[in-house]
Amino acid sequence: MRRVAVLSVHTSPLEQPGTGDAGGMNVYIVQTATRMARRGVEVEIFTRATSSELPPVAELAPGVKVRHVIAGPFEGLGKEELPGQLCAFTAGVLRAEARHEPGYYDVVHSHYWLSGQVGWLARERWAVPLVHTAHTLAKVKNLALAVHDTPEPRMRVIGEEQVVAEADRLVANTEVEARELVELYDAEPRKVLVVPPGVDLERFTPGDTAAARAALDLPPDAVVLAFVGRIQPLKAPDVLLRAAAEMVARDPGLRARLVVLVVGGPSGTGLKTPDELVRLAAELGISDVVRFLPPQGGAALARVYRAADVVAVPSHNESFGLVALEAQACGTPVVAAAVGGLPVAVRDGVSGALVDGHEAARWARALADVALRPAHREELATNAVGHARRFSWDRTTESLLAAYQEAGKVFREEVFA
């Protein structure tokens, strides 16, 4: 394996995860691409240019290039507007490859269905295999919509079905997602591979809680509940606020110590009402205990995890849940919704707790059980570190490279059959 073309149409790996359309997929692409490069595999990531000031090519890391393809207006476009720019984006990708000798790329790896549409055409033009990672699936999201959230459009469903049919290999995060691809999208089981995402075990490590709280100007004896992620109905940060209000109602004395950290920026349908959580906190009467922080990266993000007694991941759907792994790697237990890949990311009763549904009272009980029982929390924290260490980006990268090799072998056999 010499060279991989990675397609990420709607979000650049150079963007800060936690706002807009940047999230776990960005982390996934950056972490796996840089590790492939360390193994001597060149990686070129194609993404849509969102500013005239962006260079045509930027170096993400040694051996990893980001190519900014002009497709449509430079300003940010919503994902629902991007299908109309796929022809222009595809032309840019094919034009870049045409400057090289035939066979320049060994494989195309597309991320999200929009990229899969481009990858499908690149596969045919370049005669190389297409490996696709969906990250989220429209049919699954539509089965678990949050209240007032917007269903994924039929256009996306059809697009995903086309990519599933055309890809040589489909990478699923968990066995659950693999079954969804087969049962909901009629994917051929032999094409589906399960490759769990990882966690940066060098960056996300246990640390000094007191120091982390001091850096965030939090009282050393506070009871800290944290949410990290994009502010949108799918991620359900409102569930944490409602649960916190329930906890205060049950124990008014807790108000003096409780801090609810909400770390992230508006995204998706959350952009329509970017101040919704602020208003909700006021309606619930807990504005005094809720603190909002912008998206954090690197050491600052690890500091947030270390400062928290528990991290809440109340999403209505998650293909995996990288936040849960990162928090646990820092020694912080996680209370998560029992949906999607979260039962893999969190070991119920061992590294945290899983909650069925999104009822505030149920979440309040689960959060209190971890945050207000120090001995229990310490046991979960120790187990959380061990659980997170079962996942690493090195393992993920090795599995992806093996998937590329397998896809290439099968592709060649089919072409020359």
- 22-49 per-position pLDDT tens digit: 678 989 999 999 999 999 999 999 999 9
Separation in Å, CA 13 to CA 31, 132, 205 = 10, 17, 23
User: What does the pLDDT read at residue 15?
Assistant: 83
How much is the pTM? 0.90
Average confidence (pLDDT) over 273-281? 84
| Whether residues 171 and 215 fall in one domain | no
Average confidence (pLDDT) over 390-414? 91
Q: Output Rg (C-alpha) for the chain, integer angstroms.
A: 22
Label residue 339 left, alpha or beta by phi (over 0 means left) and psi (-120 to 50 means alpha): beta
Q: What is the pLDDT of residues 80-103, one digit of tens each?
A: 888 889 999 999 999 998 888 888
| Whether residues 167 and 237 fall in one domain | no
The pair of structure tokens assigned to 117 is 């549409």
| Whether residues 120 and 184 fall in one domain | yes
- Would you say residue 69 has pLDDT above 70? yes
| Whether residues 230 and 174 fall in one domain | no
Query: Which of 171, 154, 159, 74 is closest to 115 using CA atoms?
Result: 159
User: What does the pLDDT read at residue 411?
Assistant: 80
Average confidence (pLDDT) over 208-235? 95
The pair of structure tokens assigned to 17 is 């995860």
CATH number of domain containing 165 = 3.40.50.2000
Lowest average pLDDT, out of 146-160, 275-289, 302-316, 317-331, goes to 146-160
Residue 38 belongs to a domain: yes
Angle subtended at Cα 308 by Cα 368 and Cα 27, rounded to the nearest 5 degrees: 120
| Whether residues 216 and 294 fall in one domain | yes
Strand partners, 292: 262
| Whether residues 304 and 283 fall in one domain | yes
Distance CA 375, CA 157 (A): 47
- Would you say residue 18 has pLDDT above 80? no
Cβ(103)–Cβ(125) under 8 Å? no
- Binding-site positions read 10, 16-17, 21-26, 79, 112, 136, 156, 230, 235, 296, 305-306, 308, 318, 326, 332
Q: Look up the domain containing 243 and give its range.
A: 209-389
- Would you say residue 232 has pLDDT above 80? yes
- Would you say residue 270 has pLDDT above 80? no
Strand pairing report for 64-69 and 57-61: antiparallel
- Binding-site positions for UDP-N-acetyl-alpha-D-glucosamine read 16-17, 24, 230, 235, 296, 318, 326
Distance CA 264, CA 293 (A): 6
Distance CA 101, CA 82 (A): 30
- Would you say residue 272 has pLDDT above 70? no
Lowest average pLDDT, out of 8-22, 63-77, 377-391, goes to 8-22
User: What does the pLDDT read at residue 24?
Assistant: 83
Q: CB-based contacts of 260: which residues, under 8 Å, 6+ apart? A: 224, 225, 226, 227, 240, 241, 244, 286, 289, 290, 291
Q: CB-based contacts of 36: which residues, under 8 Å, 6+ apart? A: 4, 43, 63, 64, 397, 400, 401
Average confidence (pLDDT) over 366-378? 97
Residue 72 belongs to a domain: yes
Lowest average pLDDT, out of 239-248, 273-282, 296-305, goes to 273-282
Band (pLDDT 50/70/90 cuts) for residue 267 is low
Band (pLDDT 50/70/90 cuts) for residue 283 is very high
Residue 203 belongs to a domain: no
Write out the chain in H/E/C secondary structure.
Answer: CCEEEEECCCCCCCCCCCECCECHHHHHHHHHHHHHHHCCCEEEEEEECCCCCCCCEEEEECCEEEEEECCCCCCCCCHHHHHHHHHHHHHHHHHHHHCCCCCCCCEEEEEHHHHHHHHHHHHHHHCCCEEEECCCCHHHHHHCCCCCCCCCCHHHHHHHHHHHHHCCEEEECCHHHHHHHHHHHCCCHHHEEECCCCCCCCCCCCCCHHHHHHHCCCCCCCEEEEEECCECHHHCHHHHHHHHHHHHHHCHHHHHCEEEEEECCECHHHHHCCCHHHHHHHHHCCCCCEEEECCCCHHHHHHHHHHCCEEEECCCCCCCCHHHHHHHHCCCCEEEECCCCHHHHCCECCCEEEECCCCHHHHHHHHHHHHCCHHHHHHHHHHHHHHHCCCCHHHHHHHHHHHHHHHHHHHHHHHCC
Residue 204 belongs to a domain: no
Distance CA 313, CA 322 (A): 10
- Binding-site positions for Mg(2+) read 305-306, 308, 332
Mean pLDDT over the full length of the chain: 92
| Whether residues 407 and 380 fall in one domain | no
| Whether residues 381 and 264 fall in one domain | yes
Number of folded domains in the chain?
Answer: 2
| Whether residues 412 and 308 fall in one domain | no
Residue 83 belongs to a domain: yes
| Whether residues 174 and 245 fall in one domain | no
- Binding-site positions for 1D-myo-inositol 3-phosphate read 10, 21-26, 79, 112, 136, 156
Cβ(370)–Cβ(381) under 8 Å? no
Residue 177 belongs to a domain: yes
Residues in the chain: 417
| Whether residues 339 and 411 fall in one domain | no
| Whether residues 323 and 406 fall in one domain | no
Q: Which residue has the higher pLDDT, 233 or 355?
A: 355
Band (pLDDT 50/70/90 cuts) for residue 298 is confident
